[in-house]
A and B are shown apart, each in its own frame.
Chain A
Amino acid sequence: MAGGRTTPSSSLDGLLATKEIVIACGPGGVGKTTTAAAAAVMAAVRHGSKVLVLTIDPAKRLADALGLDGIGNTEHRVPDEAFRAAGLKPRGQLWAAMLDTKESWDELIRRQAPDKQTRDEILANPLYQNIAGRFVQSHDYIAMERLYEIHSEGDYDLIVVDTPPTRNALDFLDAPQRMADFFSSRLLRWLIVPYRSRLVNVATKPFYNVADRILGTEFLGDISEFFILFQSMYDGFVERSESVGRLLSDRRTTFVVVSTLEAVPLREAEFFAEQLTSRHLHLGAIVLNKVLPDYLRGAEGTATAESVKEHADALAAQLAPELGAIDPALGDADQISRVLTEVADSYLNFQVVALREMEERAMLSVVPDVLATVPFFDTDLFDLAGLVRLGEEIWE
C-alpha cells in the first residue's frame, strides 16, 4: 500500500515534506480535523517523518478522528500496532495531542514565573483560574503559545495543527499580537495603580469609583493582584508573544484552508484565505471536502433521468415479467414504476446540489497553487485506514 510508494511530486505532498508547521483552518463541519489527521498520517506513512498532530479545538474531535480515547495535553505516540492493524506500515512516527487550556496555561506560568511564590500566587488567583479554565477565548493564545513551545523544542519534523472554526481562527492569528499589546498597555498600569499605592490621583478618582461600583472592590482587587503578579513576567510574555507571532508568518509555516463547496462555509473559507493573503501568511492549499461525485453532473444523465421519469410506467411494464421471473414479489409493475421514478428524482435532486457545488468552485475568489477536491465518502472516516484513504484522495 501507501507505505512503499515513492513520493509523488504533487505540491501538497511537497508541503508536508518541506514545511515544519501545517495549520489546517476553515469553517466548522467541513472535515478540518479529519483532514489535519489525514495529513499527519500521510506524512508519517510516506515520508518517514516524526509527525505531531495537535488539535486545539475544545471538542474532542481528534480523539474521535484517530480512534483514540483520552488523548491528553501531553503528546502520545500512536502505536505502530494501530498502523499494522489498519494494514499500514509507518515509516515514521505519529504523535497526537489535544490542547488542554488550563493545563497549558499552568505550564506556561510555571515556566515563566520569576520565583516560586509568584508562581503559586498566580496559580491560586481566582481571576487566573477563570481565564485559564473557564473561558474559551484563552484557547486562542495558549494554542499558539503551545505550538511555539513544541516547535522550539524541535522534537518533530512536522507539526500539523487543527484549529477552531474560521472567525476563531482569525482570533488565534491575532492572539499573540493582542497578548503583546495587552501587556504593553499603559492602561494596565493605570488600572492597578490604586492597589499598589493607595494614593489616587484626583483626576482619575471618578474612574476608579465607577470601576468599583461596577465590578466590586474584591473583583477589582483580584484583577489588580493578577496583573501585578503578571507584570513580573511582563518582558518574557511580550517577547514570547512576538516570537509566537513571528512563527506564524515564518516560511516554515503554511496554512491549509479546508472547506466544503456549500455556500456558507465556502464564504467563510474564502474570507479566511483572503485574510491570510493580506497578512502575508503562506496559503499552501485549499482542500475542498465532501464534494459530490462527477457522475451527477452529466447532461446525459439529466436527459436519461427525465426520460425514465416520463416513461416510468411503460418501462415498468416491460421490466415486470423479467423481475417477476427472479422473484414473483418483485414483478409488480406499479412498484417498479415507483422505484424508477424515485431513482430518477433522486438523481435530479442530487444533481441540483452537485451543479451548485461546481459553480461555487469555479467562482472561488482565492485560488492557491494547490486546490484539492476530495469526493464524498459514503461512510465516516475515523480510523487510520480511513484517514489514509482520505489522504490518498487529497494527494492524488
Chain B
Amino acid sequence: MSDLLGLKLVFVTGKGGVGKTTVASALALFASTRGKRVLICEVDAKGDVAGFYEAPPTGFNEREILPGLFAMTMDTEASLREYLKLHLRIPVVGRIGPLAKAFDFVATAAPGVREILTVGKLCYEVRERTYDLVVVDAPAAGHIVGQLAAPQAINDLVKVGLIRGQTDWMLEILSDPGQTGLVAVCTPEEMPVNETIELAVRVREETTVQLSAVVVNRVLPELFGRQEEQVFDALSGTVPEERLDQLAGGDVGPLLDAARLAVTMRRTRSTHLDRLRASIDESVPMLYLPYLFTRSHGLRTTRQVAASLGEELGF
C-alpha cells in the first residue's frame, strides 16, 4: 500500500484539466485530518487552491486555513528575498532593489533560477521540519520535469558559489524516496493516460524524484454486472420501447440513452486504464477516485475527494 502520508514532500502533477489541484487539496486536507501539520503550496499561482477550501486568496506567507492545514502561494521574488535574508544577511529593503531586478532579469533568461527558488523554498520547509508534510500543487505534467530537474541542472551549470552549495542539500531531499515523492494525476481518457505514461518515463530518466503514486480521477461507476447488462440489453433492445414508456408513465428513451452513454464511457475508459496499469511500474500504486456528480466545486467536494483518497490509501 502506498505510504504517501509518510513522505515529507509530495509534488502533485498532471495534465491540465484532470483535477490536479483537487487531488492536491484533498491530499493535504486528508493528511491534516489525520493529525498532521500540513502545508499546501500552490506553484503556478492560479489562485485555485484557496477556492477548493473556500478560503480567501493565499499569499507567500503561509496561513492556517483549516486546523493543521496551512496554505501558501509560491512567489519567486518573495522566495528570493527570504533566501537573501536568511543566507546573506542582506538588509532586505536597501540593496535588494537592483539585485531583485537583476535576478528577475537573470531568471527570465535562465529560468532555472526561478525554478530553483521554487524548489528551494519547498525543500527549505522540509528541512526546517516546520511541517509534517508539504503538498505541492505543482505545474502541469509538461513542466514538472523541468522544475524537478532544476537543482541537478543548476548543479551541472554552477560549479561554485552559494547556489551550488544550496543545490546539494536540495538534491538530497528530492532524491530520497522516503522523503519526497511525485503523484501523477490523470483521468481514464486517451490523452491524459498517454501523457502520464510519458511522464513516468521522463521522471525516471531526467529527475532524481520517485513517482510515488498514480491517482486516477473521475472514474465512472460500473452500472451493471455482466448478467445485469444482459437484462439492460434486453430492456433497451428487445422489449418494445412503447411498452416501457407505458409502464413507466413517460418517455424512457432519454433514460436508456443516458445509461448506454454511461456504459460506453465506462468501457472506453477502462481500456485506457488497463493500458495505464500495464505501462506503469508495478511498484507504483494506483489510486482510484470516483467521478463526482455534484453541483459545485468547493470545500464539500474537496472533503468528498479527501474521503475517497483516504479509503484508497487504506485508512
Contact = CB atoms under 8 A, between A and B. Distances in A.
29 contacts: A27-B16, A28-B17, A29-B187, A131-B109, A135-B110, A135-B111, A137-B108, A137-B114, A187-B105, A191-B102, A207-B95, A207-B99, A213-B161, A215-B106, A218-B160, A300-B250, A304-B255, A308-B255, A319-B235, A319-B247, A322-B243, A323-B235, A339-B231, A339-B235, A344-B255, A350-B262, A350-B293, A352-B293, A379-B268
B161 to A, nearest CB: 2
Interface in A210-242: 210-219, 222-223, 226-227
A369 interface: no
Most buried by A among B109, B238, B248: B109
Contact of B44 (A167, A300, A351, A376): A167
A60 B198 contact: yes
A203 to B, nearest CB: 11
Interface stretch (A76-84, A114-122, A152-160, A327-335): A327-335
B228 A342 contact: yes
Interface of A: 27-30, 33, 57-61, 64, 126-127, 130-131, 134-138, 164-165, 167, 178, 182, 185, 187-188, 190-191, 206-207, 210-219, 222-223, 226-227, 260, 262-265, 268, 293, 295-296, 298, 300-301, 303-305, 307-308, 311, 315, 318-319, 322-323, 326-327, 329-330, 335-336, 338-340, 342-344, 346-347, 349-353, 356, 376, 378-380, 382
Given A308-B255, A347-B255, A216 B227 contact: no
Given A58-B143, A342-B223, A301 B255 contact: yes
B195 interface: yes
A358 B46 CA distance: 25
B234 A347 contact: no
Given A216-B158, A218-B160, A210 B234 contact: no
Contacts of A217: 160-161
Interface of B: 15-18, 21, 44, 46, 48, 84, 88, 90, 95, 98-99, 101-102, 105-106, 108-112, 114-115, 140-143, 146, 149-150, 153, 157-164, 187, 189-192, 194-195, 198, 221, 223-224, 227-228, 230-232, 234-235, 238-239, 243, 247-259, 261-262, 264-265, 268, 293-297
A265 B17 contact: yes
Contacts, number: 247
Nearest to B250: A304
Contact of A213 (B140, B162, B187, B224): B162
Contacts of A335: 227-228, 231
A329 B161 CA distance: 77
Contacts of A28: 15-17, 140
A362 to B, nearest CB: 15
A329 B230 CA distance: 9
Contacts of B146: 134-136
A285 to B, nearest CB: 20
Grouping DSSP codes into helix (H, G, I), strand (E, B) and loop, the B interface class, with mixed when no group exceeds half, is: helix
A216 B164 contact: yes
B195 to A, nearest CB: 5
B192 to A, nearest CB: 7
A308 B232 CA distance: 14
A326 B230 CA distance: 11
A217 B189 CA distance: 49
A368 B153 CA distance: 44
A138 B111 contact: yes
B115 A135 contact: yes
A28 B21 CA distance: 13
> Which 5 pairs of residues, A with B, have the shortest CB-CB distance?
A28-B16, A29-B17, A216-B161, A304-B250, A58-B142
Contacts of B21: 264
Given A323-B239, A330-B231, A216 B255 contact: no
Nearest to B113: A215
A378 B268 CA distance: 8
Contacts of B142: 57-59, 136, 164
Given A164-B142, A214-B161, A300-B250, 14 more contacts: A28-B15, A59-B15, A127-B109, A130-B112, A131-B110, A136-B146, A187-B102, A207-B99, A216-B160, A301-B255, A335-B231, A339-B228, A342-B259, A380-B190
A182 B105 CA distance: 7
Given A210-B95, A323-B234, A378-B268, A219 B293 contact: no
Nearest to B152: A134
Contacts of B252: 304, 308
